[in-house]
Amino acid sequence: MQSKQKNPQQVVTTKRNKTREYTILLPPSFVLAAGEVLQQSYIKLRQYGDPANPAVIVSGGVSASRAVADSADETGWWRQIVAKNGAIDLNRFCVIGFDFLPNPQETARTISTHDQARALLCALDILKITNIHAFVGASYGGMVALAFASLAPKRISRLCVLSAADRAHPAATALRGVQRRIIAFAQDHDAAGEGVALARQLAMFSYRTPEEFAERFGARPEGMAGAPFDVCKYLIARGDAYEMSAARYLALSDSLDRHNIDASCIHTNSLLIAINSDFLVPLESMRRLYRILPQAKLIELTSLYGHDAFLKEQTSIGPQIKQFIERQIR
């Protein structure tokens, strides 16, 4: 049953490093675009730095969380970018990270990037954060950033999108569709955890490039037929270490593929960062988005790391983000 409580629960977990933790109850009127009602109707945010500074929202891939930067008890997934004196400087900006829907034990499954953006907007309204200096989003987080800018263009001054386009590429959808069917098959055989691990292995392969795999791994077999090759051992380890539930994996995978926005309505000053080796979001998808956006700059970077470049190429990506969010816009 959806909670009827009107006031948000706002929990400050620590002030030692100016980090604030919020659990925001969404209003009873919040309904997903597909018509489903959330049973776990809340969104979690983490705020870094001085709230008096300009606000910068940061979001990443489906595995990312509100732990954007390092805190007293947690390592940030983008700590090389978001830090004091970093590309997104915590001395200058108040950074906001958030967790994507669905929450644990949620039964609703059809969640769009617009739903994620609307939930975030509700939370910002409750926290009375009206002006967003910049939204920096990578991968799925970039899709949510685009949806946010399309829904609330007057709330955001600048938009930085890395490895995300206005819609999913059919090749990426095909690969994710196989992952979802693997999980569904595993669920039918009471092996959801094993299904998620296998799907994650396939996903990890798509995040990198053939060249990077060739540089890291050999092709010589070890043992008899059936024994894993070195590269397979790596993928197996990454799959086994993944902790996302099957339900959440299916919901976010589907959300990636149903993402579709009208980019022509986004008049926000925008920076697009594309990776030449990205299989999931090819250069042409980013170039098409650039042609549609009224006020945009496109930077194309060369990387060995494919879609994972936003996590691996901080020395190339960081200065571009820093210059964009710190420069004056006339």
User: For every residue of 232-250, which 3-state class applies, written as one string?
Assistant: HHHHHHHHHHCCCCHHHHH
Measured between alpha carbons, how far is 37 from 167 in angstroms, rounded to an integer?
25
Q: Which of 73, 94, 74 is nearest to 84 (CA)?
A: 94
Q: In what order do the strands lie in the sheet with 296-301?
A: 19-25, 42-48, 94-98, 55-59, 132-138, 156-162, 269-275, 296-301
79-96 confidence digits (pLDDT tens): 999 999 999 999 999 999
Domains of the chain, earliest start first: 19-167+261-326 (3.40.50.1820), 170-255 (1.10.1740.110)
Measured between alpha carbons, how far is 80 from 83 in angstroms, rounded to an integer?
7
**Average pLDDT, whole number, for the chain?**
93
For residue 56, pLDDT over 90 is answered with yes
For residue 32, pLDDT over 60 is answered with yes
| 263 — pLDDT class (breaks 50, 70, 90) | very high
Q: What's the farthest any 2 CA atoms get from each other in the chain?
A: 66
Q: Which of 97, 98, 101 is nearest to 32 (CA)?
A: 101
Q: DSSP letters of 200-233?
A: HHHHHHHHS-HHHHHHH------SSTTSPPHHHH
For residue 13, pLDDT over 90 is answered with no
| 50 — pLDDT class (breaks 50, 70, 90) | very high
Give 224's Cβ-side CA count (13 Å radius).
Answer: 0
| Catalytic residue set | 139, 278, 307
Q: Which position has the token pair 């996590």?
A: 311
Q: How many residues make up the chain in this entry?
A: 330
* pTM, rounded to two decimals: 0.93
- The pLDDT of residue 219 is 83
143-199 confidence digits (pLDDT tens): 999 999 999 999 999 999 999 999 999 999 999 999 999 999 999 999 999 999 999
The DSSP bridge pattern shows strands 19-25 and 42-48 to be antiparallel
**What is the pLDDT averaged over residues 203-226?**
90
Measured between its terminal Cα atoms, the distance across the chain in Å is 49
Q: Which of 85, 68, 79 is nearest to 19 (CA)?
A: 68
| 17 — pLDDT class (breaks 50, 70, 90) | low
